[in-house]
Amino acid sequence: MTNSPNKRKKSSRPSPSKNYYPAFLDITGKKCVVIGGGRVAERKCPPLIRAGARVVVISPTLTQGLETLKKKGLIRHIGRHYKRGDMKSAFMAIAATDSREINTKATADAAVHNTLLNVVDNPPLCNFIVPSVLHRGPLTIAISTGGVSPAMARTIRKSLEGLYSTELSKYLRLLNTIRTKAMHDISDKRKRSALLKGLASEQIMRILVQKGFREARRAALSSLHSMIPQ
């Protein structure tokens, strides 16, 4: 039996990446549900906790790490499998399970309850994806390939780790202190704006990268003192 000439072959072309809208969310005090109690769920909980979320983990069992978070009162645990309605009133949910049935159920629930949902390693079921993130004190750099290659996003993040060292986090904390003092002591808006732009210039970045935090600190404080009326 031969195939009909009119029958279409399945396309082998990869699906195009989505144009996601990048955003940093304030989830302080908001309910965030993590579905699953394995190592992936354990990895997903700490960033939510650090951001101030009320984390609810739904799973029959927990890893030792999640048990520790539970004992410390950092997460609330519901000891069973996910069921419909568990996402109600949640601002965000992360499905960290390899169960197709649970993931599909979670996706349907997210649509009903208008909940942000990330299904780990399954972008088609998500309405948001989690980028690869680099933290340097107050600085957060998020890298995404639109779901095309999370592995490449991680590789790019690692390359940026070498470019932006912990020296930068020290400088940003100093910059916050200087900014507060400038807002208080420099009444001239133009002078204040010029100072703050100079402290964030490419020149100061070169000093930070090539000579380190001490020299950058010296240059920044010198600029501040030159602007403050004596």
DSSP states of 25-62 as a string?
A: ---TT-EEEEE--SHHHHHHHHHHHHTT-EEEEE-S--
> pLDDT for 200-211, tens place per residue?
999 999 999 899
The residue written with tokens 């601002």 in the block is 91
Same domain, 40 and 123: yes
197 occurs within a structural domain: yes
Alpha-carbon span 95 to 41, nearest angstrom: 8
Same domain, 66 and 149: no
The residue written with tokens 């399945």 in the block is 10
Same domain, 101 and 135: no
Same domain, 95 and 170: no
Same domain, 36 and 110: yes
> pLDDT for 41-63, tens place per residue?
999 999 999 999 999 999 999 99
Count of domains for the chain = 3
**Token pair belonging to 50:** 């650090």
182 occurs within a structural domain: yes
23 occurs within a structural domain: no
- Domain boundary among the residues 73, 107, 130 is at 130
**Domain that residue 147 falls in:** 131-163
**Token pair belonging to 141:** 């750099």
Same domain, 150 and 199: no
17 occurs within a structural domain: no
What is the model's pTM? Answer: 0.79
> pLDDT for 130-155, tens place per residue?
999 998 888 999 999 888 888 899 99
List of long-range contacts for 187-195, beta carbons under 8 Å, 24+ apart: 191/227, 192/227, 195/223, 195/224, 195/227
Contact 95, 102 (CB under 8 A): yes
